[in-house]
A and B are shown apart, each in its own frame.
Chain A
């Protein structure tokens, strides 16, 4: 079995961009959900 270190190094930016991408999209979704909850929450009647 040959280890391909060049290919491994090529994938490191993909790993970085992929994880960063997931966290960015997730944070956008969380913000959207928080706003959505705030906007659609029924107002308490006093």
Chain B
């Protein structure tokens, strides 16, 4: 009987704290509907890997190593960047780049809204993080889970667990984080600016050539990001080609669901108490928020800057710049709702969706550039 409960004595307070954190993540996923596809597996995984002598992760028993299944999954799917890339095929198949193609200039906001990444990189370095860790933390500002995992893993950051938690938490918190920043940086008059949307037809050929051309351009400029952008655009090509509807549907639903199912629980291996319960984790959570805030600010401020050069009747509503972060389609919806709140006849959705999908591309390019410069 005593042997049955002998493992109880192996429980540490740090593990108990991690159970609580896991429980909170599960609560947020179920009760608050915050990115449940990721936070629920992550929360459960946090509990699973923090049970004393958990067989789910690699342990040393009697001097011999016993490989845990979560570590097997990590080596097979995360350490080689496979899972995030497969997920990108699904995401690419879900995105309609039509609104962006009908107004390509919107891409400039996607670029500006990556400012938070580079600002956070500098800030994290100032706070004493090594360059590879600072860059991995900064990429939380990409507001793009797979890119965060890809970059953090590529650079070999030890903080990948905390980075994942921060990245997905803030993506879920976009409706909370962005509005105050947007309001702070814009006047009521600016938020009331109407932007009529002129539907421009986009040919099927354009939609087919777009993913191929984007892959070629970013691949040439930033070869290290070619896998990221390539898989995203491959998914989009499958969607737009018109002859692979079944594959497109599979990528959007089955493939994306399958990868997502294992992604969170696999990342949880990096949430073992001894790695996760450090002051650095708290700092990463704060730095992630900084990245999101400065991304939003970058997008809004570039719109205000452009407005200085536009005639009075062609001014942009600077709020659309905030949708340049990659959190799709949440950020576009936030901007649209803010516009409606100011003026119930102001429909910004098509513009903000265009900016939002450009943010998806720009965040991948930002990730690739960081890898190019640092790896």
Contacts and interface: CB of A to CB of B under 8 A. Distances in A.
Contacts of B101: 33, 37
A37 B365 contact: no
Interface string B133-147: 010000000000000
List 10 A-B pairs, minimum CB-CB distance, nearest first.
A33-B104, A8-B126, A26-B111, A15-B118, A7-B125, A11-B122, A40-B205, A22-B111, A40-B206, A11-B125
B104 A14 contact: no
23 contacts: A4-B128, A7-B131, A11-B121, A12-B122, A14-B122, A14-B374, A15-B118, A18-B366, A18-B369, A18-B370, A18-B373, A19-B111, A21-B365, A22-B114, A23-B111, A25-B111, A25-B221, A29-B107, A30-B105, A30-B108, A33-B100, A37-B101, A40-B205
A10 to B, nearest CB: 7
B119 interface: yes
Contact of B126 (A7, A17, A23, A32): A7
Interface string B154-171: 000000000000000000
Given A17-B373, A33-B104, A40-B203, A26 B127 contact: no
Contacts of A40: 203, 205-206, 209
Interface of A: 1-5, 7-8, 10-12, 14-15, 17-19, 21-30, 32-34, 36-37, 40-42
A11 B117 CA distance: 12
Given A19-B111, A21-B221, 18 more contacts: A5-B126, A7-B125, A7-B134, A14-B118, A15-B121, A15-B122, A18-B114, A18-B370, A21-B365, A22-B369, A24-B221, A25-B111, A25-B221, A25-B222, A29-B214, A37-B104, A37-B202, A40-B203
B15 interface: no
B243 to A, nearest CB: 18
Given A3-B127, A18-B373, A26 B108 contact: yes
B361 interface: yes
The DSSP consensus for interface residues of chain B is helix
A37 B373 CA distance: 33
B125 A21 contact: no
A6 to B, nearest CB: 9
A17 B222 CA distance: 13
Of A15, A26, A34, the most chain B CB neighbours within 10 A belong to A26
Contacts of A2: 128
Contact of B114 (A5, A19, A28): A19
A24 B18 CA distance: 44
Interface string B80-112: 000000000000000000001100110110111
Contacts of B205: 40
